[in-house]
Amino acid sequence: MINVEDFLNKQESICVVGLGYVGLPLAVAFAKHFNVIGFDINQIRINELKLGIDRTKETTSEELLNSNILFTANEEHIKKCKFIIITVPTPIDKHKVPDLKPIFSASTIVGRNLQKDSIVVYESTVYPGLTEEECVPILEKESGLKWKKDFFVGYSPERINPGDKIHRFENIVKVVSGDTEYSLNTISEIYSKVVKAGIFKAKSIKVAEAAKVIENTQRDINIALMNELSMIFHKIGIDTKDVLEAAATKWNFLKFEPGLVGGHCISVDPYYLTFKAQELGHHPEVILSGRRVNDNMPNFVVQNVLKLLIKAKKQIESSNIIIFGLSFKENIPDIRNSKVVDIYNELKEFGINTYIYDPYVYKDEVFKEYGIELLQDPYEKAPYDAIIVAVKHTAFGEYDIRFYENITKSPKILIDIKSLYNKDIFLKNGFLYWSL
């Protein structure tokens, strides 16, 4: 059995498997109290971390260089650890079906290096039941050990919000669960040394798994409602932002707003829950309806771009459009499941010369993932027939109307998806202005 004091005395080590947006901040936080081994199969990522370079920008160079974490791509180091946390991605495939290859691969690697009396904690987002029904058998097969006798498992949903410098790992209440009372208490005790906001012990692993997927599912549905309201208000001829500002004066009105729903969580997690529901014979109407609305928003934006081009008597084919922003949310380099890419691809299908400028993302990653060459400078292909501001990056908020006047052909068109600017200023200066 694990003795937590052995970890505090640094006689035992903790291993974090997967050093992305979730795993790296977690490893850095644990390293303040424990010996930590950070494992990732990406050797390039490991090399960068050793040099204090974090492409996710979730940690600083100083934090990495002072953390004393052993960064490695050698799975043999996992054998040195009896407390192992798995934080690999759990994406969906092109058919919107859970892609479990990363978590199964991580379970295989951990399993063949698993030592007797170890505890394995999963933080990756999964559907209820996956940890015990799918991952545990892999651990047993690869290790030759017996579950609940030779090793134990737990689940603790990650709540990392990329780019959020306020809600960090240490100050968010941590939900934990275990397969036995012993593992639950041990997991809780170890996490409590790091998480200052407190620990919540879920009734079971399945409960903790379900809690994670409904957090983002709830947010997805609320944004879908705002997006559908935006479509309705545009048909009525009133401004969505004006309506939401008026409604928000009521104390219990939920302050959501319309937008493009991308990223690795909100646009993905609902499909894990609906996959399990359909497997059990239930068709989740509301959740899938919300997903359809949000997945359709890039098309809605494009249709309104085309309407504005026609209204301005501009030729659609061969017109020039620049999109400001590619990451799935503001002020981060994360391009996973970016819905801006859908806008870009659809505009290209209409024969429009479409360009993207985003100083926050890595150009090599964008080209590798989407085959898109980003502009080095927004003036590079100017002047443009229309401008789409897709992401509320702080840097874009500093652009004034003169900047847009200088890079746009008349009649000037601005599509301000997230209402970053004061529309009245643009309208007074002759712009055709549109926002969600």
Q: Which residues pair with residue 413 across a beta bridge?
A: 432
Q: Is 265 a catalytic residue?
A: yes
**Separation of alpha carbons 126 and 273, rounded Å:** 8
Distance from C-alpha of 332 to C-alpha of 160, rounded to nearest angstrom: 13
Q: What one-letter code names the amino acid at 17?
A: V
CA 351, CA 334: separation in Å to the nearest integer? 28
* Tokens (6 digits) for 69: 């974490």
Residues in contact with 261: Cβ distance below 8 Å, sequence separation at least 6, in sequence order: 220, 223, 224, 227, 267, 294, 297, 339
Residue in 15, 81, 135, 265 annotated catalytic: 265
Task: Name the nearest CA neighbour of 106 among 38, 41, 14, 35.
Answer: 41
**Burial per residue of 354-391, b for 16 or more beta-carbon CB atoms within 10 angstroms, e otherwise:** bbbbbbbbeeeebeeebebebbeebeebbebbbbbbbb
Map tokens 């020039």 to a residue. Answer: 320
Q: What φ, ψ does residue 175 adopt, rounded to 5°?
A: -85, 130
Q: Which residue bears the tokens 């690795």?
A: 264
Token pair belonging to 316:
């659609």
Q: Which pair of tokens denotes residue 414?
A: 């601005």
Cα–Cα distance, 89 to 102 (Å, whole number): 6
Question: Distance between CA 87 and CA 84 in Å, rounded?
Answer: 10
Q: By the 8 A CB rule, do 61 and 54 touch?
A: yes
Distance CA 241, CA 90 (A): 34
**Structural tokens at position 390:** 């897709």
Q: In whole angstroms, what is the distance from residue 320 CA to residue 359 CA?
A: 20
Q: Which two tokens stand for residue 11?
A: 């006689």
Estimate to the nearest angstrom the gap between the alpha carbon of 139 and the chain centroid.
27
Closest to 182 in 3D by CA, of 174, 190, 170: 190
Report the C-alpha gap between 382 and 395 in whole angstroms.
19
Give the three-class secondary structure for 126: coil
Q: Three-state SS for 105? A: helix
Catalytic residues: 265
